[in-house]
Structure 1
Amino acid sequence: MNSVFCLVKKTHTSLCAGYVTMKQQKDNPDMKSFFLCLFLCLSMSLLGQYEKNIQLAAPDTSAENSFLSVYLNRSSASDFTDIELSDEEISDLLWSANGINRPASGKRTAPSALNAQDIDIFLFSSDGVFLYIPENHELQMVSESDSRVLLVGESFSVVPPQVLLLVSDVSRFTFGTDEMRMEWAAIDAGIVTQNILLFCSWNNILARPRSVMEKDKIIRLLGLSDSQHVLLNIPLSK
């Protein structure tokens, strides 16, 4: 017990002595100057970091047909017309979105996690609902009903003549937790969407990526499985 008391007393004495020493140093004019210089040096060091920022040159979007103009003109349409895309435009758009650009390997214009090619594109129009088959570059009819309203509701003054729907089949990922697969699905859908939007920007097509829709009704209409997730829709018009 006495040894513990002695240890506590010794520690208390050391702390008090340290405090007195620091106070004396603080009251010392030389120490005040030292701390002021130290503060200024640290401040200059921090400010110096910002001098290393790099000012980038402005993007060259001056050329009328430059590639950068695709990005310059990209925007999400706030409303649409009733003028539909031609069959040729739909064909080129779907290939650009997620078509096969390397036939020998079957790889796509859009990369996907693990090359799972999990994204399927459905076309909704007044003629019905179609599934894009990249391997044959064709549209396969899924339903004869005009179901565009399930995707866009009353969001616009007119119902866009064509709407694309992106669905991810996460069963195509060969491994990964459910959470990982859903993250990959969202990323892959975003990549395909950007392909669509850039094509539309280049060809003066109105487009807008959206996530709001009647998903439960769409799942029943398309007969989707539990592994197929409805992610995004993109209304289109001229």
Structure 2
Amino acid sequence: MNKLRLKFSKNGPVKFIGHLDVMRYFQKAIRRAEIDIKYSEGFSPHQVISFAQPLSVGATSDGEYIDMTVNSMVSTSDVMDRINAVMNEGIEILAIRELGEREEKAMTAAFAAKYRIKFRDSLKPDFNWIEEFEKYLQNDRLPAMKKTKSGEKEIDMKPLIFEYSFDREKESVTLLLSMSSAATLKPALLFGAFFASLNKELSTNALDVHRIDIYKYAEDGDVKYIEPFITDDINTRFILNG
């Protein structure tokens, strides 16, 4: 048996398909591709697959992940070619990596996510949001009310923002945000609090959100860092302890 991690993109009209429908879509695609997928045991066997953190409806991505176990395979490239051959436009397998026996599932290993965010053309703010947002991010604290299972609680978003950069020509910001089981910061919460700090209201669906990748935590000696789930480029690492 082989444990695999697949990286895939989600673009175009399929961005409006919810997470559960994407799961069902992959299950059907794996069957059509005749992948020798492992099934669970019991009265109702199901494919042994799991996804990383769900993507919000309406957002696009070039960094989504699915873990699956196969009984046999020719090669990872063969698996990728077979699945891509039966995929509809908008979803594409970009890379596959074999996992070690002790590696965590993508769902639990996710530590951060990188996003590129701009405003939809018809819903752009009537002020220089990049200038104001840059000032906002420099505050010592960034309080926000976050909904939890038990109600609402105030959090400080500042420690959950690892890195940011602006592209003024394209009127966008790239943000590396926490996405761990302990603390997840979604772009909508951050921008909602930003607008509230200016006594403004963020319009529904105003944000054009693109997830670039999902990162995992790793250590190399005394160095603690995060890097994309699938990468051969050391330059994609973000050092956590300087």
Indicate the TM-score class for this superposition, using the shorter chain for normalisation. under 0.3
Query: TM-score, normalising length from structure 1?
Result: 0.25
Q: Which is richer in strand?
A: 2
